[in-house]
Amino acid sequence: MDADIIIAAVLIGFGFGNIFLCMFVAMSASVGRGWKVGAAFILGRFAGVLTLGIFIAIFGWYIDLSSSSMILIFATMSILFGALVLLWPSGLARLRLLRHCEVGGCESCDNKSQDSAIHDCSTCSSSKNCSANSEQDPLLEVDDKNKKYSRFKNHQGLSMTSIAAFGFVRGATPCLKILLLVPLILTLPLLESVVVTGLFALSSSIYSIIGIFMGSLLGIAATEKRIPHLRRAGAVMLIGIGIYYSYKFLTFSCPGGI
């Protein structure tokens, strides 16, 4: 394999096109949860990109995706990922609450000393009504001394596997930079296509790493009450990017049509 092909794959990965999605997803996932969560996202994304590259190498000659289609896919996934980051924690909290109530957990509401407790018996049939710690984010543990989120709780909320799966879906989603990589993948043997895709996945991970770094810094600096707002801000940015690219899709035009 020629050195210029390797350089091209790496430079395409470093390119600035549509960098925001992975960066903001990684940042939102890492805020208050530590770098390991972001690393799980990156590993999942790497596996997703490799899978997509292999799929393109095998079936690429039989699939025709226009530039406008890639814009639409990117816009849709940006909105979906933003909505997922925005809504998933509260949805999981409510699901856990309902399950807790179903098994009669509301009979014991003395949990004020438990930082990770999630008890709100207002929806239960139990006569007791307990809301201690009910507003706490179910994904995190709180340090009593400084009221900062200290680490990701694998047994509550999103697991590392869920984060990695999240990254896999993102990596396996076609984007405009992948479109630039397709001619290289299609002209190489399968093994070399995998190598080129892997180099692209590694170099393009720099933006996810930046997102993890930003999220970790924000998590260290922010207090308990600000962490959820920072995460929501990242999610809103993703949705905004998706709306912007939806507009670009609607106004897209090129010689020969869409």
pLDDT single digits (tens) 201-242: 898 888 888 877 777 676 655 555 666 666 677 678 778 877
Query: Which range among 34-43, 78-87, 194-203, 217-226 has the greatest average pLDDT?
Result: 194-203
Please report, as a single letter, which amino acid is at residue 23.
M
User: Does the global pTM surpass 0.85?
Assistant: no
Rounded to an integer, what is the distance from CA 227 to the centroid of its chain? 17
Reported as half-sphere exposure (CB side, CA atoms, 13 A), residue 30 has a value of 28
